[in-house]
Structure 1
């Protein structure tokens, strides 16, 4: 196989299989070439990935040596993307009755959601994560996007048990914003005991839902390695019940009278 063809084949493999460790003999057989040629190809791909801000190839040596692709977003690309999100969300047309902000179109845009997942995956690339956990419903697309770059499964906590998911563990928790008692359920088969997990959600006000997920995960002896939220409320009246999290955006209370909303970058830049 010619080098130009090999580069296409190898690049496609890495993009479709992030964080999957593979030994070089697999590529030697796949491309019908030599180990030294594959090694040179990997150098080229690694350099291009880094130049384009798409991540890098992590290589290991020795008997079990191989390579895996770590998908990341460059700091510049992340800032540009977050700036684009800010401008979209600051549109006064998004303000809904009651002071809410319309965000469903962003959560339904595959390209937007995928880039959000890439930014989260970049923030958590250095962590050992076995699964992404979210709560139904709006956090689901973000969880799957992040999981696609980390190459791990998605686990969804729901408000009500589903008969098709078998026996479940449920907890009652107090919502941080409304102070109402709510229920959260997670099937016993959905998460192996002792897993390292990352929690992803679309919006956080006081953090009650995240706290509820953490309490539920304790029943599975899971370790929460990271928490990522697309947007957090920038409201001094709400006492935050969690402090260790990564947010991409910070939304101030909507000024209904002046039809204005202020959106700032979240704390992701501090990571």
Structure 2
């Protein structure tokens, strides 16, 4: 079947967006559309320019017989800031306040569109770094970890607080919970993480950082390298913060149960700019 150029452009764009971080050869596209490689190269140039102008990402070209193109995710700075500001407004609703000063976040982390956008924003910050695996804890942050993993084209490993028979032998550590100030256990299947992997830790909420710090310690048992730490929400007034170097989208600066007020602002995501 012979494709018109407009059809090729639409289908190629869709394919690249669905396969971020994957090297795609010109031969693959040429055979897919029954077109000459020179035509494919021209199409990719158009897509590349559009991606860069819109802040969607970039197309990296790898020369040679085994080369091709690779889509690297990015975000439009203005759109990302607008999204985070809107998310701050949503989180600041007094109706989210739960007894004990906790916030109701289940609906946010259960909304595919929101999780997809958050994952894209986080992935964009680490797209040019070497990340082999996304690691998270068995909490509400799992969907977020999978979203980031999709945009970086890497697998997800999940640390748990108890053993699962289906995961085989595990490595376990004890860590101090930053918020609860008590010893807890964290386990990870031996088969889930290869030695020497570069790991990006992703979590939905960080208070003192005890859980995140526990995951960092667990990586040491696998002789893995920490590529970064990214969280959706951080608590600004956490005592004895156990983690210093991290990326956050939203900062929770205060909760007043009496007045039913929640103060949130942009995190440090744009601080490096």
- TM-score, with length taken from structure 2: 0.97
Structure 1 residue 247 displacement after superposition: 0.4
Residue by residue, what CA displacement relative to the aligned partner does 1:199-240 show, whole Å, maximum 9, x if unpaired? 0000001111111001111111110111000000011x5111
Q: What is the match of residue 113 of structure 2?
A: 111
* In 2: Cα distance, 1:141 partner to 1:15 partner: 19
Q: What is the match of residue 138 of structure 2?
A: 136
Residue by residue, what CA displacement relative to the aligned partner does 1:4-29 show, whole Å, maximum 9, x if unpaired? 11112211210111000122111111
Residue 96 of structure 2 is aligned to residue 94 of structure 1: yes
Note the residue ranges of structure 1 that are not aligned, 5 or more in a row: none
Aligned length, in residue pairs: 270
Structure 1 residue 260 displacement after superposition: 0.6
Matching of residues 166-185 of structure 1 within 5 Å: 166-185=168-187
Q: What is the match of residue 198 of structure 1?
A: 200
- TM-score, with length taken from structure 1: 0.97
Conserved in 2, the CA contact under 8 Å of 1:53 and 1:77?
no
* In 1: Cα distance, 2:81 partner to 2:154 partner: 26
Structure 1 residue 63 displacement after superposition: 3.2
Structure 1 residue 50 displacement after superposition: 2.0
* In 2: Cα distance, 1:239 partner to 1:137 partner: 23
Conserved in 2, the CA contact under 8 Å of 1:197 and 1:223?
yes
Structure 1 residue 122 displacement after superposition: 0.6
SS in structure 2 opposite 1:178?
Answer: coil
* In 1: Cα distance, 2:35 partner to 2:102 partner: 58
Conserved in 1, the CA contact under 8 Å of 2:170 and 2:190?
yes
Structure 1 residue 125 displacement after superposition: 1.0
Residue 120 of structure 2 is aligned to residue 84 of structure 1: no
Structure 1 residue 61 displacement after superposition: 2.0
Matching of residues 1-271 of structure 1 within 5 Å: 1-235=3-237, 238-271=239-272
Conserved in 2, the CA contact under 8 Å of 1:18 and 1:69?
yes
* In 2: Cα distance, 1:17 partner to 1:138 partner: 25
Structure 1 residue 51 displacement after superposition: 2.5
* In 1: Cα distance, 2:199 partner to 2:98 partner: 34
Of 38-47 and 57-66, the range deviating more from structure 2:
57-66
Structure 1 residue 253 displacement after superposition: 2.7
* In 2: Cα distance, 1:88 partner to 1:142 partner: 18
Conserved in 1, the CA contact under 8 Å of 2:254 and 2:264?
no
